[in-house]
Each structure stands twice: as C-alpha cells, then as structure tokens.
Structure 1
Amino acid sequence: MTDTIDAFHRGRFHLLQPKDGGHRAGMDAMLLASLVTGEGAIRVADLGAGAGAAGLGVAARLDAAQVTLVERSPLMAGYARRTLELAENAVLRPRAKVVEADVTLRGKARMEAGLPDNAFDHVIMNPPFNDSRDRTTPDELKAQAHAMTENLFDSWIRTAAAIMVPGGQLSLIARPQSVAEIIAACGNRFGGLELTAIHPRPGESAIRLLVTAIKGSRSRLAIRAPLFMHDGAGHPFTQQVDDLNNGRAAYHREGR
C-alpha cells in the first residue's frame, strides 16, 4: 500500500496516510478539531481517530492538550503510531498516544482496553456516516470507516459519556441526516446541544453538521447560525472556515 505524508495547519503537523486505501483525513477532521477549547493540560479522546488527524489538530492548536487517539483498525492504529514518529511531529509526540480499541466496548472490557471512566475533559468523534446498507466503496478499509452500523451513535456517545468527566464536552461532525439519532443518543447523558449546519454556499443544502454538548447539562438545544464554506461560485474558502481549517481559530460554544 502506497503512503503519503500530508501537511495540516499550514505545516504545524503532518499525517502519514494510505494513498489509495482507507479513509483519508481532510476538512471534516480539522473542523472537528476546531470545536475543542480550553486552557492547560486538558485531556482529549479522539474516538475513531484513524491516522490521528483531528486529535493532532487539537494538539497543534492547544499547546498543552493531552490527546489519546482511539482506533479499532490495527492498520490505521499503526498509521497513527507512525504518524507520531514523524520528525515533523516531534513537538506533539510527548502529548499524544494511541489506544487500539473498539469504541463500542463496555464496562471492564473498555477499561482494560485503555479507556477508563471519567478520564477525559473532551471527547471528539467523526463516526462512520453511511448506512451499512448503502453501496459505498469496494475498498474494505474505506468501507469500514464510512459504514454506519445499527445504533452507532448510541454506542459511541454512550462510551463518550462513560469516559468523560462531569461537565466535559462532546464534539462531533456528522451528516445532517443523522441529527435525530444524535439527539436521541445524547438523551439524558448530554445537554446544551449546539448544532451548526455547514453549507457549501448560501442557497445550497447543508452537507455536514457540527454538534457540541455538555455531560450532565440541562440546558436546551440551540441551533446556531450556519457556516458557509464558500462566498461565491469559486472554490476559495470563507475567511472563517479557512481559519478553522488551518488551526488559526477555534469554533467556540455560545453557552455552557
């Protein structure tokens, strides 16, 4: 399998990825990383981390953040480990580690896999977004990354709630069609949901949904102003999206 080394955040960190197999990280991961805010040695778990793009995006922007990259696939976990060994990532390496584990594990099995209760201030996730019945791709690794199993959001968000401290923040990016499942999965575990739809341009339908929520909060759901990727017919990003994509800004919550 051919590999590539790709620069993110204008070269602040690099990612080793399979060129033709598996899911290649891009803007989704960087927008997800932009949702994490905080000061000091905050502890962040990136569930379904792949080669580590979103988690390392957090570590590159927040100089003291401690990041755990959680990945089920032995192959992609290997890419995450090799990514951390890149010379370009030497400054991030002491603050990041890889845990090879299935996000859906419960109880003792989950803790033995390296995901203890009440261990993280933030949990971020970019869950598989296609229904497993959809025809997605003949590439098996990419299909695993993109295929959504039954009750996926419930199982992933259940794990997020278990490993997060009270008052911790859940952040995820998904397709807008998943909004009902996400809200249902948060249930009594998380409140204060803030939803932001991402549209290519004004007048075009949303293609992604950013979600943040707080463990144990009783605040009501809020739908925020949309984010537009482009101003006009061309491909340049809006200044806000470009800043989020390149780690120059965070997408702060409006409330707690």
Structure 2
Amino acid sequence: MSDTTSAPVAETVDAFHRGLFHVLQPKGRGHRSGMDAMLLAALVDDDRAIKVADLGAGAGAAGLAVASRLANADVVLFERSPEMADYARRSVQLTDNAHVSGRVSVVEADVTLTAKARNDAGLVDESFHHVIMNPPFNDAGDRRTPDALKAEAHAMTDGLFEAWVRTAGAIMIPGGQLSLIARPQSIAEIIDACGRRFGGLEITAIHPREGENAVRILVTAIKGSRARLSLRAPLIMHGEGTHKFSPFVDDLNNGRKAYARR
C-alpha cells in the first residue's frame, strides 16, 4: 500500500523592522521578501490617514512594513497567486502582527485587469493615496527556475510595466503617489509606462558599494503632475570592504526612517 500522506509544506516566520512585525513565507520555494520590500515601503512618507495599495504583494512584507511604520495607513495587499494570497492572509493574522492586522486586508486579484473587471475585483478607481509595487523583474532570457511559484513571481512579460502602472493610475486619487523598486534595466519601460499618467518622477539608483554598478532603482511619481524627471543622488548600501549597511540604508531597511521625496 502506498503512503498518500503528503509532506508538510516548509514555511518560515520572518521578523522585519527588528521584530516589529513578522511575515509567513514558503521556505525553499516561491519569492521570499527581503530588503527590496523594505526599501519599497520606505518610499511611503505620509502621516495623514491614507489608503495604500500593494500590488503583487506576495506574502505581504512591503504592505505590512508600511502599516508598521505609519499608524494612520490602511493597506490592501493585492495578490494574484492563491497560494501567496493565503500566505499574506496568514501573515496578517499572526499574533505578532495584532497591532497592525486591523489596518491590513488581502484581496486575491490580478492587477492587470482592466475597466469593470478591475473594479469588480476590488481594484476600485480613485480610492488610494499611495500605490506601491515590486513587479516581476526577470527578462525572458534570464535563467528559468524550476520553482513554479517563484517563476510566477519573477517572470516579466511584454507590457508588464504598462499594465501595472495603468492599474496604479486608475485606482489612485489625483495627486497620489506611485512608488516602485525595479532593476535598472527597466528604467525606460517605467518612464514610458508613466507617460502622461504620472509626472515628477524621482529616480534613485542603489549601488552595493562605491564604484560598483547599480543593482536596483527606486522610483516615485505623482499622478497628474507635470513636473520634470529628477535623478537623485545614489544610495550606497555598504562601505568598502564590508557587508554592513550604511546607517541611512539600515534605517530605511528597519523602518526607522522614510525615503522622502525631494
């Protein structure tokens, strides 16, 4: 007789912001959130009562980081994958997250939906002050992963930025802020996608160390703004010969500071 008992799914509960909140994540598979999510969350600098949409939220790390740092923020985690949406729900429900759970909700929805289908899925027009996103970043030529859950989170398709930014523009109130983190190679697509929807783009390159090429870019933009694009001073993560974060980057990573627009 064969044993039909399936092995338990490996999971971890990971602390962020020095233990101020926790995220339940799959172990050894899927996309695991880390510093990218924390830097993305740091782009929201707003003490008002705000509504924040986290598009493609995964297990919810970035959205939870916003809620953890900003006491007046209500956050909706939008995630297409049923499995990752379940991780997000269970993350919100963790006992260690009780202080923010009342301000964070999860909606299982495809952020590339349009028009009525998008609204019916919960991505309601002009209802958010901030939209944050960490879209899939692997090009078609990148090495494929056998992990289907990770592939879904990382696989970039043609027109992806256009679709995600279109949704961000639709669900955001006029004057609202778009924030995203991406690879430097995507800068042209991001600028094109913002088009006439968003202006006042501020772009910051993130470099591991002085003299090393950028590995990420941080982008913020304002819906309806006609201000010109600004390239900000780069963020250098580490000092020469060390893996220790610079004090400012460490503050961003641990929720002690926001990365305010100029």
Whether TM-score is above 0.5 comes out as yes
Pairing 1:11-26 to 2, within 5 Å after superposition:
11-26=19-34
Count of residue correspondences: 254
Q: Which amino acid in structure 1 is aligned with residue 57 of structure 2?
A: A
Q: Write the distance in 2 (CA, Å) between the matches of 1:79 and 1:41.
A: 27
| SS, match of residue 58 in structure 2 | coil
C-alpha deviation, 1:136, in angstroms: 3.0
Which of 131, 146, 160 is the equivalent residue of 1:138?
146
Percent of residue pairs bearing the same amino acid type: 69
C-alpha deviation, 1:132, in angstroms: 3.0
Q: Which moved more, 1:228-237 or 1:70-79?
A: 228-237
Matched, 1:86 2:97: no
User: 2:161 corresponds to which residue?
Assistant: 153
User: 1:163 corresponds to which residue?
Assistant: 171
Pairing 1:100-119 to 2, within 5 Å after superposition:
100-119=108-127
Q: Write the distance in 1 (CA, Å) between the matches of 2:135 and 2:87.
A: 18
Which of 30, 48, 62 is the equivalent residue of 2:56?
48
Q: Write the distance in 1 (CA, Å) between the matches of 2:172 and 2:10.
A: 37
TM-superposition CA deviations, 1:149-188 (whole Å, max 9, x none): 1100000000000000000000000000000000000000
User: 1:216 corresponds to which residue?
Assistant: 224
Q: Which amino acid in structure 2 is aligned with residue 45 of structure 1?
A: A
Cα contact 1:34–1:58 (8 A) shared by 2: yes
Pairing 1:29-68 to 2, within 5 Å after superposition:
29-68=37-76
TM-superposition CA deviations, 1:78-135 (whole Å, max 9, x none): 0000001100000100000001000100011011101110000000000000113422
Which of 199, 202, 215 is the equivalent residue of 1:207?
215
Q: Write the distance in 2 (CA, Å) between the matches of 1:248 and 1:91.
A: 17
Q: Which amino acid in structure 2 is aligned with residue 91 of structure 1?
A: H
Q: Write the distance in 2 (CA, Å) between the matches of 1:74 and 1:35.
A: 27
Q: Which amino acid in structure 2 is aligned with residue 243 of structure 1?
A: D
User: 2:3 corresponds to which residue?
Assistant: none
Cα contact 1:40–1:64 (8 A) shared by 2: yes
| SS, match of residue 102 in structure 2 | helix
TM-superposition CA deviations, 1:184-215 (whole Å, max 9, x none): 00000000000000000000000000000000
| SS, match of residue 181 in structure 1 | helix
User: 1:228 corresponds to which residue?
Assistant: 236
User: 1:76 corresponds to which residue?
Assistant: 84
Larger Rg: 2
Q: Which amino acid in structure 1 is aligned with residue 116 of structure 2?
A: K
Gaps of 5+ in 1: none
Which of 118, 123, 126 is the equivalent residue of 2:134?
126
Q: Which amino acid in structure 2 is aligned with residue 7 of structure 1?
A: A
Q: Write the distance in 1 (CA, Å) between the matches of 2:140 and 2:51.
A: 32
Moved over 4 A (4+): none
Q: Given the two structures, how large is their TM-score scaled by the length of structure 1? A: 0.98
Q: Write the distance in 1 (CA, Å) between the matches of 2:115 and 2:258.
A: 33
C-alpha deviation, 1:40, in angstroms: 2.7
Q: CA RMSD in A?
A: 0.6
C-alpha deviation, 1:24, in angstroms: 0.2
C-alpha deviation, 1:231, in angstroms: 1.1
Gaps of 5+ in 2: 1-8
Cα contact 1:136–1:146 (8 A) shared by 2: no
Q: Given the two structures, how large is their TM-score scaled by the length of structure 2? A: 0.96
Matched, 1:237 2:245: yes
Q: Write the distance in 1 (CA, Å) between the matches of 2:39 and 2:232.
A: 15
